[in-house]
Structure 1
Amino acid sequence: MGEGSATSLLDMEQGKAVCAGCNCPIRDKFLLRVNGGLWHEACVRCTMCGCSLKNTCFLRDHKLYCKRDYVE
């Protein structure tokens, strides 16, 4: 999972937003912005255990982690 590039509001309105997690277009009604990248809600998951990161996430080397896996 890499860090996403900046996407203009016009690009988002035209459906050109690309998920930083899966690199697929985002056509969802809502976008999540994590560490400057745009994400599908379903793609915001811990790199180690795969759990969904709903409220908080931790970042190391451009990868997302849950708290438990981040501190290990």
Structure 2
Amino acid sequence: MLKNSVCEGCNELIRDRYLLRVQDGLWHERCLHCASCREPLKDTCFLRNKTLYCKRDYQNLR
């Protein structure tokens, strides 16, 4: 784990055994969900303006 890692989703310190990196940001696993439908992002995620989306909701942004 990286020392003093802060989650992009909740802005809290990540103390979990694992953290997830999405582009330049670090996330708790529990914070990784679609901003639109709130479904957990397990296999893939899409990022626009520092906001995470599932594939379906990302495609609807166009």
Alignment TM-score, normalising by the size of structure 2: 0.88
| Larger Rg, first or second structure (1 or 2) | 1
In structure 2, the partner of 1:55 is: 43
Query: Equivalent residue for 2:56?
Result: 68
Post-superposition shift, 1:35? 1.4
Number of residue-to-residue matches in the alignment: 60
Identity value in percent:
57
More RCO (CA 8 Å, sep 6+): 1
Gaps (5+ residues) in structure 2?
Answer: none
| Cα distance per residue 1:13-64 (max 9 Å; x no partner) | 4xx1110110001000011001111100010110001000011001111110
Q: Which runs of 5+ in 1 are unaligned?
A: 1-8
- Normalising by structure 1, report the TM-score: 0.77
